[in-house]
Amino acid sequence: MLEIRWHSRAGQGAVTGAKALCEVMAQEGKFVQAFSVYGAEKRGAPMNAFNRIDDDPIIDHSKAMIPDYVLVIDPSLVYTDITYDTKEGTKYVITTHLSKEELLKEVPALQGKDVHVVDCIRISQETIGRAIPNTPMLGAFVKVSGAFDIDEFSQAMKEILYKFPQKIIDGNLQAIRRAYDEVN
């Protein structure tokens, strides 16, 4: 079972991102689950979304998990606790304008962890035209996890986004590719 925890602010698209990842994984024949933990629906409030991915049907409906990946799509959330309920091998993919060294200095709790950084906010602004950091995060996840071939992933995303105008589809695919290339 692969488990992912997203740290986001309400309105940044973590739920949509988690669901899109599910769609792609389901096309690959996996069983998937995407859910989120909301407070009252306040835009901008910190929230979590979750993925479970497995070869067998997923029947667990508890919210508890020790994730393999922690995906942070808002740069300010590194100042909240993002390392709770994790394990030795948990990988962090974090949206930030800081370099990895600067980030580790800024957030000592991340020192000694498997941390990857990418600026999903800037990438989405430059490709989609708005600060929607969820799709670039998927590109970064594809790179860090090695779970997919990036071309196959982009093709699957294209099919999922088919209802949107061509400009939006192109922007999202570009964002995914750039985050894939830029994450380190």
The residues that touch another protein, with contacts defined as CB under 8 A, are 15, 18-19, 22-23, 26, 30-36, 38, 40-41, 57-64
Task: Indicate the residue among 22 and 137 with the shorter CB distance to another protein.
Answer: 22
Question: CB of residue 13 vs another protein: minimum separation in angstroms?
Answer: 14
Task: Indicate the residue among 118 and 157 with the shorter CB distance to another protein.
Answer: 157
67: left (phi over 0), alpha (psi -120 to 50) or beta: beta
| DSSP state letter for 163 | T
H or E element in which residue 102 lies: helix 100-106
Question: CB of residue 32 vs another protein: minimum separation in angstroms?
Answer: 6
**Alpha-carbon span 128 to 5, nearest angstrom:** 24
Residue of 74, 66, 69, 53 lying closest to 7 (CA atoms)? 74
**Alpha-carbon span 2 to 16, nearest angstrom:** 18
Question: CB of residue 75 vs another protein: minimum separation in angstroms?
Answer: 26
Task: Indicate the residue among 16 and 90 with the shorter CB distance to another protein.
Answer: 16
Question: CB of residue 176 vs another protein: minimum separation in angstroms?
Answer: 19
C-alpha distance from residue 42 to each of 49, 143, 149 (Å): 15, 32, 36
Task: Indicate the residue among 85 and 149 with the shorter CB distance to another protein.
Answer: 85
**Alpha-carbon span 71 to 47, nearest angstrom:** 12
**Alpha-carbon span 7 to 49, nearest angstrom:** 7
Task: Indicate the residue among 3 and 181 with the shorter CB distance to another protein.
Answer: 3
Question: CB of residue 31 vs another protein: minimum separation in angstroms?
Answer: 5
Question: CB of residue 21 vs another protein: minimum separation in angstroms?
Answer: 10
Task: Indicate the residue among 52 and 122 with the shorter CB distance to another protein.
Answer: 52
**Alpha-carbon span 119 to 25, nearest angstrom:** 24
